[in-house]
């Protein structure tokens, strides 16, 4: 089966799989809506460790990363989520989810936050600034992902209090980069670009919010990983 989004991108999958979306806080409903557009995909909201058992993949949405981590700790989910990742089961983190999956993070609130880890990278929690600094831009499609083989040659990336990957280890594949403006470089220790989408084995992470656009190709890419 095949369907098209409003911007003409292809949204199809043949597999019949179940994708969970961590529904503690943040934009989980938007991810559910995108996954439900993909034929053969069942999506479920996840709030308990028992709900992780039968999933083919898990999305950790954007939101407030410290709040999300605190709720996950309080509900006893951190060890179960770490186990999910360590067993090689696919996880995609968007924005706050990217921070959650990183091995190292800077710019955290006092006291820090729990990290699941798994991605050999260092992220800056609010690299692009506060809510007022949110923006959107067009980025080239990542050729490494099958879901982007057809459709537009760019995708709309929405950055909302977004993190960025400052350092990535050899096991981490950079899928998309954002070139900093001169003004952004001046307050970023001279960095000319940062990674905003990465992949390592069973882990996918994006600093932007595909769930807030009409393009479902990132969701299709994750379904491809999970299937």
Is residue 95 among the annotated active site residues? Answer: yes
State which H helix or E strand residue 219 sits in: helix 217-226
Q: Which one of 124, 209, 216, 219 is the catalytic residue? A: 209
| Contact yes or no for 95/209 (Cβ under 8 A) | yes
Q: Which one of 11, 31, 95, 121 is the catalytic residue? A: 95
Q: Which one of 30, 177, 184, 211 is the catalytic residue? A: 211
Distance CA 97, CA 62 (A): 6
Torsion sign (Cα): 181, 146, 97, 32: positive
Distance CA 102, CA 138 (A): 25
Is residue 209 among the annotated active site residues? Answer: yes
DSSP-derived letter for residue 204 is E
Q: Which residues are catalytic?
A: 95, 209, 211
């Amino acid at each position: 089966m095949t369907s098209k989004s409003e911007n003409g991108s292809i949204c199809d999958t043949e597999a019949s799989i179940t994708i969970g979306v961590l529904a503690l806080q943040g934009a989980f409903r938007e991810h559910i809506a995108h996954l439900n557009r993909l034929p053969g995909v069942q999506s479920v909201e996840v709030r308990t460790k028992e709900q992780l058992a039968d999933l083919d993949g898990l999305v950790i949405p954007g939101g407030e990363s410290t709040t999300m981590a605190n709720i996950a700790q309080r509900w006893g989910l951190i060890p179960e989520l770490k186990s999910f990742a360590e067993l090689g089961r696919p996880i995609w983190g968007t924005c706050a989810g990217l921070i959650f999956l990183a091995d190292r993070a800077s710019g955290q609130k006092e006291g820090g936050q729990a990290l699941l880890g798994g991605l050999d990278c260092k992220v800056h929690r609010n690299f692009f600034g506060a809510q007022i600094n949110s923006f959107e831009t067009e980025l080239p499609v990542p050729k490494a992902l099958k879901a982007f083989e057809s459709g537009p040659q760019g995708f709309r990336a929405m950055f909302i209090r977004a993190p960025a990957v400052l350092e990535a280890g050899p096991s981490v594949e950079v899928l998309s980069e954002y070139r900093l403006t001169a003004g952004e470089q001046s307050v970023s220790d001279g960095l000319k670009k940062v990674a905003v989408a990465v992949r390592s084995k069973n882990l996918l992470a994006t600093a932007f919010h595909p769930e807030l656009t009409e393009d479902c190709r990132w969701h299709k890419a994750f379904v491809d990983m999970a299937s």
